[in-house]
Amino acid sequence: MMAMLKWDGHTHTRFCYHGSDAASELYIDRAIELGFERYTLSEHPPLPANYVDDASLFAELAMPMEQLPDYFQYVKEMKEKYEGAIEITAGLELDYLQGHTDFTASIVDRWQHELQDVVYSVHYLPGVGGMRCIDFTPDDFKTNLLAYYGTMEKVVDEYYDHVEQAIAEASKLPMRTRIGHINLIQKFQTVLPPLDEEQLNKRMRALLPLLAGSKVAVDINTAGLRVATCGNAYVPPWFMQECISLGIACVYGSDAHKPEQVGFGYDYYEQHYLKR
């Protein structure tokens, strides 16, 4: 088998207001130490004003619009600084924003010449009072999502409906794209009512033909392995095997929000995808 590029395709920076203010050099130096050859900076872009019905939380979710030029300049500086040592690519972790896809499209249009990689994710669902963040806290999930939908089965269906829309939006983009942490709905699985595994598998299997019919890859996101209430990577081994059989690309993503998280769980990706 041909050797594959060692690539961390989902990472964050000091422009993430719910992560670390550490300089990207600390992340990138660790990536080089671990033998990575490509490293994608994929920060959360701005959100529409008041998109989430929680002002204090909203301030932590994404950078303000006026910082987006600074972010791309920062990425450019990292690319230049590390040229010849590791390939740095400019990315964003876009969200499927129900009712505001034009907002996302305007960001892509403005920055498409700089933008090399997009991780397209679902973090928000309609809930009590408006849009709610699915991965904030278990208590917030119970109060603002589970209470709104009534059952976990209904929340799961709404989530995967949004993931399907995210794939459709990602497939329109001209740069490299991948669907982010497709099982993020499992983040709090040990402290919420049980999820129906048959339902999860059915909804995930329905994603496969959508991905196979597009150029959208899958973010093999290992962050769930470091979340006590999850304990799993956000992509199960069986799904990776199906992707392999259908020719759907899978890209490792540490989803690092701190320098020490770079490369986390790469052995999981190696075991279930590279050593097939």
Copy the structure tokens of residue 6. Answer: 């060692």
Q: What is the CATH number of the domain that holds 129?
A: 3.20.20.140
What distance in Å separates the CA atoms of residue 174 and residue 46, rounded to the nearest whole number?
A: 20
* Domain presence at residue 39: yes
What is the reported pLDDT for 10? 98
Q: Are 159 and 125 in contact (CB under 8 A)?
A: yes
Residue with tokens 């590390």: 82
What distance in Å separates the CA atoms of residue 104 and residue 120, rounded to the nearest whole number?
A: 11
* Domain presence at residue 1: no
CB atoms within 10 A of CB 85: 12
138 pLDDT higher than 60: yes
Q: How far apart are the first and last CA of the chain?
A: 10
Q: What is the mean pLDDT of residues 258-266?
A: 97
What distance in Å separates the CA atoms of residue 177 and residue 61, rounded to the nearest whole number?
A: 21
What distance in Å separates the CA atoms of residue 20 and residue 4, rounded to the nearest whole number?
A: 30
Secondary element (H or E) of residue 56: helix 55-61
What is the reported pLDDT for 1? 37
Nearest CA among 266, 267, 210, 196 for reference residue 242: 210
What is the reported pLDDT for 2? 40
The torsion region of residue 87 among left (phi > 0), alpha (psi -120 to 50) and beta comes to beta
Domain count, the chain: 1
**DSSP of 93-125, one letter per residue?**
EEE--TT-HHHHHHHHHHHTTT--EEEEE--EE
Instruction: Record the pTM.
Output: 0.96
Secondary element (H or E) of residue 252: strand 250-253
Copy the structure tokens of residue 66. Answer: 């006026």
What distance in Å separates the CA atoms of residue 46 and residue 58, rounded to the nearest whole number?
A: 10
* Domain presence at residue 2: no
Mean of pLDDT over the chain: 95
AA letter at 116: Q
* Domain presence at residue 112: yes
Starting from the edge strand earliest in sequence, which strands make up the sheet with 7-8, in order?
Answer: 7-8, 38-43, 87-95, 117-121, 176-179, 217-221, 250-253
Q: Residue 232 belongs to what domain range? A: 7-274
Q: Are 52 and 124 in contact (CB under 8 A)?
A: yes
Q: What is the mean pLDDT of residues 72-89?
A: 98
- Per-residue pLDDT tens for 170-198? 999 999 999 999 999 999 999 999 999 99
* Domain presence at residue 26: yes
